[in-house]
Amino acid sequence: MAAAAELKLLEKSLGLSKGNKYSAQGERQIPVLQTNNGPSLTGLTTIATHLVKEANKEYLLGSTAEEKATVQQWLEYRVTRVDGHSNKEDIHTLLKDLNLYLEDKVYLTGYNFTLADILLYYGLHRFICPLVWLLITPVTQCFSSSDFTSR
Amino acid sequence: MRLFVSEGAPGSLPVLAAAGRVRGRAELLISTVGPEECVVPFLTQPKVPVLQLDSGNYLFSTTAICRYFFLLSGWEQDDLTNQWLEWEATELQPTLSAALYYLVVQGKKGEDVLGPLRRALTHIDHSLSRQNCPFLAGETESLADIVLWGVLYPLLQDPAYLPEELGALRSWFQTLSTQEPCQRAAETVLKQQGVLALRPYLQKQSQPSLPEEKAVSNEPEEEELATLSEEEIAMAVTAWEKGLGSLPSFRPQQNPVLPVAGERNVLITSALPYVNNVPHLGNIIGCVLSADVFARYSRLRQWNTLYLCGTDEYGTATETKAMEEGLTPQEICDKYHNIHADIYRWFNISFDIFGRTTTPQQTKITQDIFHRLLARGFVLQDSVEQLRCERCARFLADRFVEGICPFCGYEEARGDQCDKCGKLINAIELKKPQCKVCRSCPVVKSSQHLFLDLPKLEKRLEEWLGKTLPGSDWTPNARFIIRSWLRDGLKPRCITRDLKWGTPVPLKGFEDKVFYVWFDATIGYLSITANYTDQWERWWKNPEQVDLYQFMAKDNVPFHGLVFPCSALGAEDNYTLVKHLIATEYLNYEDGKFSKSRGVGVFGDMAQDTGIPADIWRFYLLYIRPEGQDSAFSWTDMLLKNNSELLNNLGNFINRAGMFVSKFFGGSVPEMVLTPDDQRLLAHITLELRHYHQLLEKVRIPGCLTQYPHHIFDSGNQYIQVNEPWKRIKGTEADRQRAGTVTGLAVNIAALLSIMLQPFMPTVSATIQTQLQLPLPACSVLLTKFLCTLPAGHQIGMVTPLFQKLENDQIESLRQRFGGGQVKVSHKPAVVETVKTVGPQQIQMLMDEVTKQGSIVRELKAQKADKNQVAAEVAKLLDLKKQLALAEGKPLETPKGKKKK
């Protein structure tokens, strides 16, 4: 349940103290957040956006209409393009496009650091730096049941 | 700001509908560009629609553009809207683009288009009806509604693709469609051409790959992911403690099985296989095996269950086969009936009776129904133009004529039905007809025949369907087929033939004729029951007390869902009619069709010669059961499923649990002292068990098989792993007690699994039960609660491994043997190989192996190693990549030339 680990990390960096409970849904292990007041929330970017609001750090979602739409656009990009099963060729195109886009920018929205930067960073780690990915993947996922047999 | 759109780009619909929001607030220019024009400078692939903002930045996501328009109009973002939009992008969009592509570019229709999408549409429908609001995010229309409406509009504007059972979705969609901005957007984009307006754009796109297939419908369990309540835990503990005591008293199997008033009575039929063919794997999974799972499940629920099937024996095909083999038709039927019966026995199909249609009961019941129909004026007489082969000196039965389909132009259409478009054909309408026996061109001759007056019965049929369909488990494809027949209007249907081998027509002037098999084959179910018990009418004339489930492949739907019900309704004799019609799609073999004549594919009698046990065949066939869409049998996938799902996961868990009892506790189940964590585990497993029941009650076989045994032994495995009984057994007294509890619980989970597996793998289930010495009453009942069936002190038997590894070379040689010389058969344009994907862990493992093997190859190459050695390692790498591609459900990469995307 890698998405839950990612959300835990996000909670930490947002300074949220109370630990939320996450479960995972379906084959793609989409994260689900159980909230005390109201229905559960489903989906990585939906939950991440919610956490940012909970931490009173709305500025991370952009301040103008343009910024807000841009942040959400890159969040969508993260879950559709970056998380999609990409082959090497696709990953190469994706990195090339991002590189070109960022040539004249500091962050994805220009000069302001936002949630989009955080989640895209996490997402890209998977192919840029497999070791870090391994670190944020919970231990249970690294143990397959065949390890268990050989014990 | 400037909006770039392209003719027929589906994204234009939501964007234009949302643009209504900014009218008067900002200046919006619209430019039309070609579908391959790169508007956004930093994106390699062309993308439209795109919004260029006044700042010079671009929004290239359809949803983001709509969001921006809404934000400009003062709307504020909320969680629920975000959730819908994320769902749209990640779940809906992949299946929807595939569906649109099938429909618009590939010309597919019906369930081929709707099937993959149904889950998503149902999700919207359920959400709307659950929250009881007219719109997705509340009382008023918002961003989520506009985006979802816009992307769905091209498809749903055709009523054929707006399923009527999804009432909430329907009214939501219609409300939005009548609003002015939406209407205007629809006119601009579709130009009144319907979905075809998208063609210029879509045909320039590469085919979207359908996302990995997931288990059908798990809406109920999604809602119940909520944490377990104290009450649920307490209930699970009580049930567990009651143990064997809560089992109902053992009921021996009745003979004959008869319905009992006040109890649930389940009558199950599997489509009757035609006698002169040996069934292939597709036939086996399509009906007999699927029905068997349900029959076994139904018996585990202690419902009064009668499962019947038999061979369909009349007709010209039998006459011809008899001529070929120099036997009488009766002798041919006897011979092949036994072949069929043997095959099903080998597959462990639990028929209460496997009968045949050539019996005196068949004649009696068929003629009775006919007399009743005749007396009530539902039979017409007319002369028919028929194909007669002068060379063979006989009228040609439909299946003995082949020609070009008058509807779709398919060249090998049969005289009764086209395999490609599925339409029923009148043999004389075939273009360029040929006699299948001698290949000469038949001539048209006239002959008197009887017709069932379906138009006169149509109203009764619709009334009956109106009562039966809502809330029933008719599969979507069956509903679709019946709906399209009714939409086209019913026509009188010929029920007699110029043959000898059939049920005689009891009417003056028709002495030389027999009933057409499709009039009397479905009556075979009744006569087979009549041969089983003289009280057959308690099953077949008892619609109030009997639930009739009929299993078949989709080509049989019209006869079971329409022709037979019309006969039965017209006969006015209180017949039991089908309550749940369960139809499958087709199973393909590797990348083509099964073909007896070309020797492609595995046929029932050959499966036993492969050395692979029947239960493994059952498991794999059920795993890939073509529910919702066609699926394909693949040797590699079968190996993978056997070695991972069965051997490594399931077999491993059950074996470990049993071994702990034998090794650490001398074969006697230890005392269990439950901690709060253990109690939660009980409640969790009870919950999983409930979901298993929900799925099987709805006959969702792969959905159930891929999830529930898995979820349960996964929980068991995790539980053992966390608690490490093999370490604690060597520790203090408290540690030893803990090891005992964990082992005891684990072996009870194994016992539960053995019962849950019984419908799918009866032999494996029995083996586990013998190994664990599970008490007899517990073996034949599956309750909705998790019980302690192996209490402390219970002695288990010898524990041995359950599954055997399938080796690559073994599978390769089988592939060679059954491959039919690797003839590429491709009747359909692009049969999508819908191999079920394996879990993410396994994909990760395979990925790692590919990476590892890749570096070995690179190193060898760098060292300029021996050519043969390099080639061998490269072959390994390619094989791994292939496994990975299969595991991810991707089409295999073709080695020749690079495909430009």
The pLDDT tens digits of the residues spanning B872-881 come to: 777 777 777 7
Among B129-133, B229-233, B451-455, B634-638, the range with the most confident prediction by mean pLDDT is B451-455
Using CA atoms, how far apart are residues B892 and B895, in angstroms rounded to an integer?
9
For residue A150, the one-letter residue type is S
CB of A88 within 8 Å of a chain B CB? The answer is no
ipTM: 0.87
Q: Is the pTM value of this prediction over 0.80?
A: no
The encoded tokens of residue B501 equal 């081998």
User: Are the C-beta atoms of residues B559 and B593 closer than 8 Å to each other?
Assistant: no
The encoded tokens of residue B181 equal 């901005």
Using CA atoms, how far apart are residues B54 and B2, in angstroms rounded to an integer?
8
* Chain B residues closer than 8 Å to A72 by CB: 63-64, 67, 77, 82, 85
Q: Is B119 helix (H, G, I), strand (E, B) or coil?
A: helix
Least confident window among B67-76, B420-429, B814-823: B814-823
CB of B43 within 8 Å of a chain A CB? The answer is yes
- Give pLDDT, residue B893: 40
- Give pLDDT, residue A38: 65
Half-sphere exposure of residue B162: CA atoms within 13 angstroms, side-chain side = 17
Q: Is residue A136 predicted with pLDDT exceeding 70?
A: no
Sign of CA dihedral B696, B702, B704, B709: positive
CB of A100 within 8 Å of a chain B CB? The answer is yes
- For residue A63, what is the nearest residue in chain B, using CA coordinates? B71
CB atoms within 10 A of CB A37: 4
Using CA atoms, how far apart are residues B737 and B719, in angstroms rounded to an integer?
16
Interface touch B59/A65, C-beta < 8 Å:
no
CB of B71 within 8 Å of a chain A CB? The answer is yes
Confidence of residue B223 (pLDDT cuts 50, 70, 90): very low
Among A119-133, B37-51, B702-716, the range with the most confident prediction by mean pLDDT is B37-51
Interface touch B89/A70, C-beta < 8 Å:
no
- Give pLDDT, residue B534: 96
* Chain B residues closer than 8 Å to A66 by CB: 53, 55, 57, 68
CB of B139 within 8 Å of a chain A CB? The answer is no
Interface touch B64/A73, C-beta < 8 Å:
yes
Task: Report the length, in residues, of chain A.
Answer: 151
* B50 phi/psi in degrees, rounded to 5: -135, 140
Closest-CA distance, A16 to chain B, in angstroms, reads 18
Which of B25, B44, B72, B90 to probe by mutation at the A interface, max A CB count within 10 Å? B90
Using CA atoms, how far apart are residues B599 and B596, in angstroms rounded to an integer?
5
- Give pLDDT, residue B596: 63
Interface touch B225/A25, C-beta < 8 Å:
yes
What integer best gives the mean pLDDT of chain A? 78
Confidence of residue A70 (pLDDT cuts 50, 70, 90): very high
* Chain A residues closer than 8 Å to B87 by CB: 42-43
Average pLDDT over residues B111-128: 87
Contacts 24+ apart (CB under 8 A), B893-898: none
What is chain A's percent helix, strand, coil content, to nearest 5?
60, 10, 30
Q: What is the DSSP letter of B417?
A: B
Q: Is residue B840 predicted with pLDDT exceeding 60?
A: no
Those of residues 105-134 in A touching chain B at CB distance below 8 A are none
Greater pLDDT, B724 or B225: B724
**pLDDT-above-70 percentage for chain B:** 91
Q: What is the DSSP letter of B555?
A: G
- Give pLDDT, residue B269: 97
CB of A93 within 8 Å of a chain B CB? The answer is yes
Interface touch A66/B656, C-beta < 8 Å:
no
- For residue A68, what is the nearest residue in chain B, using CA coordinates? B68
Widest Cα–Cα separation across chain A: 57
Q: Is B485 helix (H, G, I), strand (E, B) or coil?
A: helix
- Give pLDDT, residue B645: 84
Confidence of residue B211 (pLDDT cuts 50, 70, 90): low
What integer best gives the mean pLDDT of chain B? 86
* Chain A residues closer than 8 Å to B703 by CB: none
Exposure string of B76-107, with b = 16+ CB inside 10 Å and e = fewer, is ebbbbbbbbbbbbbbbbbbbbbbbbbbbbebe
Using CA atoms, how far apart are residues B736 and B411, in angstroms rounded to an integer?
73
**pLDDT-above-90 percentage for chain B:** 44
* Chain A residues closer than 8 Å to B82 by CB: 43, 45-46, 49-50, 72
Using CA atoms, how far apart are residues B554 and B538, in angstroms rounded to an integer?
29
- Give pLDDT, residue B503: 95
Average pLDDT over residues B719-723: 85
SS3 sequence of B256-274 = CCCCCCCCCEEEEEECCCE
Using CA atoms, how far apart are residues B745 and B739, in angstroms rounded to an integer?
10
Closest-CA distance, B771 to chain A, in angstroms, reads 20
Least confident window among B43-47, B294-298, B531-535, B792-796: B43-47
CB of B648 within 8 Å of a chain A CB? The answer is yes
Those of residues 817-846 in B touching chain A at CB distance below 8 A are 837, 839-842, 844-845
Q: CA torsion angle for B138, B140, B144, B148 (degrees, to 10)?
A: 110
Q: Is residue B541 predicted with pLDDT exceeding 90?
A: yes
Which of A134, A148, A151 to probe by mutation at the B interface, max B CB count within 10 Å? A148
Nearest to A45 by CA among A123, A112, A129, A109: A123
The encoded tokens of residue B805 equal 């590894």
Average pLDDT over residues A105-133: 79
- Give pLDDT, residue A26: 75
Q: Is A145 helix (H, G, I), strand (E, B) or coil?
A: helix
User: Are the C-beta atoms of residues B330 and B358 closer than 8 Å to each other?
Assistant: yes
Q: Which of A25, A97, A149 sits opposite B44 (nearest CB)?
A: A97
| B518 to B286, B501, B559, B653: CA distances (angstroms) | 19, 14, 7, 49
Q: Is residue A147 predicted with pLDDT exceeding 50?
A: no
Half-sphere exposure of residue B432: CA atoms within 13 angstroms, side-chain side = 9
Q: Is residue B529 predicted with pLDDT exceeding 90?
A: yes
Q: Which of A25, A44, A145 sits opposite B652 (nearest CB)?
A: A145
| B259 to A27, B297, B568: CA distances (angstroms) | 41, 17, 20
Radius of gyration of chain B (CA): 30
Q: Which of A43, A70, A143 sits opposite B87 (nearest CB)?
A: A43
- For residue A92, what is the nearest residue in chain B, using CA coordinates? B44
pLDDT in tens, B52-100: 998 889 999 999 999 999 999 888 999 999 999 999 999 999 899 989 9
pLDDT in tens, B436-473: 888 889 988 888 999 999 999 999 999 999 999 888 88
- Give pLDDT, residue B302: 92
* Chain B residues closer than 8 Å to A41 by CB: 79, 83
Least confident window among A94-103, B4-13, B751-760, B861-870: B861-870
Closest-CA distance, B52 to chain A, in angstroms, reads 11
Helical residues (DSSP H) of B403-554, grouped into ranges: 454-468, 476-488, 517-520, 524-532, 537-540
Using CA atoms, how far apart are residues B579 and B611, in angstroms rounded to an integer?
39
Confidence of residue B888 (pLDDT cuts 50, 70, 90): low
Q: Is residue B867 predicted with pLDDT exceeding 80?
A: no
* Chain B residues closer than 8 Å to A35 by CB: none
User: Are the C-beta atoms of residues B314 and B527 closer than 8 Å to each other?
Assistant: no
Q: Which of A42, A49, A65 sits opposite B71 (nearest CB)?
A: A65
Helical residues (DSSP H) of B391-475, grouped into ranges: 454-468
- Give pLDDT, residue B734: 92
Closest-CA distance, B226 to chain A, in angstroms, reads 7
Closest-CA distance, A69 to chain B, in angstroms, reads 5
Nearest to A3 by CA among A27, A26, A34, A24: A24
Confidence of residue A134 (pLDDT cuts 50, 70, 90): very low
- The residues, any chain, with a CB within 8 Å of residue B360's CB and separated by 6 or more, are none
* Chain B residues closer than 8 Å to A23 by CB: 225
Which of B83, B881, B888 to probe by mutation at the A interface, max A CB count within 10 Å? B83
CB of A85 within 8 Å of a chain B CB? The answer is yes
Q: Is residue B575 predicted with pLDDT exceeding 90?
A: yes
Interface touch B90/A34, C-beta < 8 Å:
no
The encoded tokens of residue B320 equal 């011809």
Confidence of residue B191 (pLDDT cuts 50, 70, 90): confident
Average pLDDT over residues B339-357: 95
- The residues, any chain, with a CB within 8 Å of residue B815's CB and separated by 6 or more, are B590, B635
Average pLDDT over residues B655-681: 93
Using CA atoms, how far apart are residues B418 and B415, in angstroms rounded to an integer?
8
Least confident window among B395-404, B499-508, B540-549: B395-404
Sign of CA dihedral B352, B355, B359, B361: positive
Nearest to B297 by CA among B273, B321, B264: B264
- Give pLDDT, residue B337: 95
Confidence of residue B898 (pLDDT cuts 50, 70, 90): very low
Using CA atoms, how far apart are residues B658 and B674, in angstroms rounded to an integer?
19
Pairing relationship of beta strands B401-404 and B413-414 according to DSSP bridges: antiparallel
Interface touch B79/A46, C-beta < 8 Å:
yes
- Give pLDDT, residue A2: 74
* Chain B residues closer than 8 Å to A43 by CB: 82-83, 86-87, 90
Those of residues 10-69 in A touching chain B at CB distance below 8 A are 21, 23, 25-27, 29-30, 32, 34, 40-46, 49-50, 61, 65-66, 68-69
Give the strands of the sheet with A41-42, arranged side by side. Answer: A22-25, A30-33, A41-42
CB of B901 within 8 Å of a chain A CB? The answer is yes
- Give pLDDT, residue B834: 34
Task: Report the length, in residues, of chain B.
Answer: 901
* Chain B residues closer than 8 Å to A42 by CB: 83, 86-87
Pairing relationship of beta strands B493-494 and B443-452 according to DSSP bridges: antiparallel
Average pLDDT over residues B328-336: 93
Exposure string of B832-867, with b = 16+ CB inside 10 Å and e = fewer, is bbbbbbbbbebbebbbebbeebeeebeebeeeeeee
Interface touch A144/B845, C-beta < 8 Å:
yes
Interface touch B61/A46, C-beta < 8 Å:
no
Q: Which of A40, A79, A89 sits opposite B89 (nearest CB)?
A: A79
User: Are the C-beta atoms of residues B626 and B551 closer than 8 Å to each other?
Assistant: no
How many A/B residue pairs have CB atoms within 8 Å?
Answer: 123
How many degrees, rounded to 5, is the angle at CA B126 between CA B121 and CA B129? Answer: 125
- For residue B890, what is the nearest residue in chain A, using CA coordinates? A85
